[in-house]
């Protein structure tokens, strides 16, 4: 819609978004990060860090086992 030259206020009105500023933030996040930028990230950071640590530990363990073999 925005690419067709429709003003942000008009888009917000059509989509039922009361805060045009929120629409601007969503558009910027989409432009910078694509669909990932629009995903919900709250409360998941710790989970991601734990998973990253686990993957790192398993890779290290695999490397050690490969050297033994």
Average pLDDT across the chain, whole number: 82
What backbone torsions phi and psi does residue 65 show, to the nearest 5 degrees? Answer: -65, -35
Average pLDDT over residues 1-22: 83
| DSSP symbol at 1 | -
- pTM exceeding the 0.75 threshold for the entire prediction: no
What's the CA gap between 27 and 38, in Å, rounded?
9
Local structure of 19: helix, strand or coil: coil
- In the prediction, which pLDDT does 50 show? 76
Name which residue leads in pLDDT, 41 or 20. Answer: 20
Q: Write the DSSP assignment of 21-36 as a string of letters.
A: HHHHHHHHHHHHHGGG
* pLDDT per residue as tens digits for the range 40-61: 766 656 666 677 888 898 999 9
- In the prediction, which pLDDT does 26 show? 87
């Amino acid at each position: 819609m925005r690419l067709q030259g429709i003003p942000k206020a008009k888009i917000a009105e059509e989509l039922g978004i009361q805060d045009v500023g929120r629409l601007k933030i969503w558009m910027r996040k989409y432009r910078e990060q694509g669909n990932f930028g629009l995903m919900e990230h709250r409360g998941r950071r710790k989970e991601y860090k734990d998973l990253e640590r686990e993957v790192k530990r398993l890779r290290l363990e695999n490397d050690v086992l490969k050297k033994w073999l």
